[in-house]
Amino acid sequence: MDDRGLTELAALGEIAGEIVHELRNALLVISASTYLAQKNPVDCAPHLQKIERHTRTAQGVVDGMLALARGDAVTTERTSLADILSAARAAVGGQANFVDEIDGCIVQANPTLLSRVFRCLFENAAQATAPRVPTIRTRAELGERAVITISDDGPGVPASIRDRLFEPLVTARVGGTGLGLALARRIVIAHHGTIELLESHPGATFRITLPS
Ligand SMILES: Nc1ncnc2c1ncn2[C@@H]1O[C@H](COP(=O)(O)OP(=O)(O)O)[C@@H](O)[C@H]1O
Ligand SMILES: [Mg+2]
């Protein structure tokens, strides 16, 4: 297998890993809710609703990730950026302080996939800045497209990898895989969007554009 084949395989491995993680969460909720519904059949409606919701989430994860792996267009809906950011943030926990200027920003997106992009950016900022906790600013401007900038006050992206930052397996972090930003770019492109690193001092600033 050539280098390109290997990196594609690695990217698919990353996608599979994500599917497993999301599915495990959904299955945990489904099995807990099933247990509760069986224990109290008379009052089981809320549990059944939860089961239905998480079954749909699980289906969405599988469909979205497989479409991405095949290079198909992803299914999108009008989604508030605030919702996407809070999903991404929940995954990063207290590892960063967040400041948003995104009032009323709506994008045309697959929420599960797009929140993964922001999660990747937030995780990278937190990892690069540790042990200090970074402040991450997210700004959105709405025009013909949504232009979203994500800036942190960490050390910035090492000059040695800036040119190849979005290629698979490019990493400057001990224990890094170099797949986070490669997958992020794949997701953004599947949304007919763009993602780039801007010149900024200090810290790192990424710009994403998306159909609005
Ligand atoms: N906000 C950031 N600040 C500093 N460096 C960053 C930032 N985001 C990404 N990087 C650099 O880019 C590299 C690639 O990131 P990524 O593709 O997510 O892979 P990984 O996190 O597995 O290394 C990181 O190892 C890090 O060196
Ligand atoms: Mg990363």
Mean pLDDT score of the chain: 88
As beta bridge partners, residue 210 has: 146
Per-residue pLDDT tens for 61-110?
A: 777 777 777 777 788 899 999 999 998 998 888 899 999 999 889 999 98
The confidence score (pLDDT) of residue 175 equals: 81
Structural tokens at position 170: 């490019």
166 pLDDT more than 60: yes
| Mean pLDDT on 36-46 | 95
**Three-class SS of 108-175:** EECHHHHHHHHHHHHHHHHHHHCCCCCEEEEEEEECCEEEEEEEECCCCCCHHHHHHCCCCCCCCCCC
- Count CB neighbours of 159 within 10 A: 8
Q: Any residues with Cβ below 6 Å from ligand 1, and which?
A: 120, 124-125, 128, 152, 154-158, 161, 165, 170-173, 176-182, 204
Number of C-beta neighbours around residue 19 at 10 A: 17
CA of 203 to the centre of ligand 1 (A): 12
Statement: the pTM of the whole predicted model exceeds 0.85? no
Calculate the CA dihedral of residues 87, 92, 93, 94 and round it to 10 degrees. -130
